[in-house]
Structure 1
C-alpha cells in the first residue's frame, strides 16, 4: 500500500491514496477545490521507502477539499488555588475534510 507523510499547515499527517483525513481549516479555499502539497517528508511505494532531507522534491500530493466541519468542544479551565480565581472557556476548532486523490511523481 502506498502512503506518504506530509506536512500540512505545520502538522504532519500520514496520507493514503483514495482516503479521507481531517486537517486544520483552509480559510480561502472553496469546497471541491483541488490543492497540491509539496512538503512530503516520507514516501513509501510497494515497500520502497524514500526519505527527504527535509522534503522530497520529486513527490507531490493532489487533494480535494470535501467539506468544512467543526470539531468537538475543547474546554479551557484556568484556576489559581487559594485566590478565588476560576476561568472557564471553550471553543470548537474548525477542520477541513480532504480526500487524497493521487501521489504525483516527477
Structure 2
C-alpha cells in the first residue's frame, strides 16, 4: 500500500514506516503532522484524485530539522574581471510516515477477490473454434 502525497509543494511517493527529507516544516522535533492532499492511493485498487482523494490522510512524525549540503554557485565572464561566488544550503525536515489512514477495509477486501475471480474466469474460458471464410473463387465454382 502506498500513496502519492503533496508535501510543501512537492510530490512524494510514501509508504508506512518510510523516512524522507522534505522542505522545512513548521513544528518541533517529535511533533505529529498530517497531510490531506493525497493525489493517488494504491491499496488493492488504485484511487486517483481529481485533484485530491477525499477522506484519506497520511500521518507523519518529525524526526529532525537539518540543512542539506552546500551548493556553490560561481559565475564568471572571461576577460572582463567579473566573478561572483554565492552559496546556498536548503533547510530540510526529516519525517517518518507513521500511517496512511482513511481506507475502508471493505473496499480493500472487495478488490482482492475480484482480481482472483477474473483470473479464474480467464483460465476456464472455452477456446473459440476457428472458422474460415471461403474465397470468392471457391464459391463461384
TM-score computed with the length of structure 1 as normaliser: 0.89
User: Structure 2, unaligned stretches of length 5 or more?
Assistant: 104-141
Question: What's the CA shift string for 1:32-86, capped at 9, x where partnerless?
Answer: 100110011011113x111101111121111100111211111112233443211
1:100 corresponds to which residue? Answer: 97
- In our comparison, the structure showing a higher alpha carbon Rg is 2
SS at match of 1:18: coil
2:23 corresponds to which residue? Answer: 24
Work out the number of aligned pairs and report it. 103
Greater relative contact order (CA < 8 Å, ≥ 6 in sequence) = 1
**Would you tell me which structure has more helix in proportion to its own residues?**
2
User: Structure 1, unaligned stretches of length 5 or more?
Assistant: none
1:9 corresponds to which residue? Answer: 8
**Would you tell me which structure has more strand in proportion to its own residues?**
1
Which 4+ runs in 1 deviate beyond 6 A?
A: none
Q: CA-atom RMSD, angstroms?
A: 1.3
SS at match of 2:74: strand
2:69 corresponds to which residue? Answer: 72
SS at match of 1:53: strand
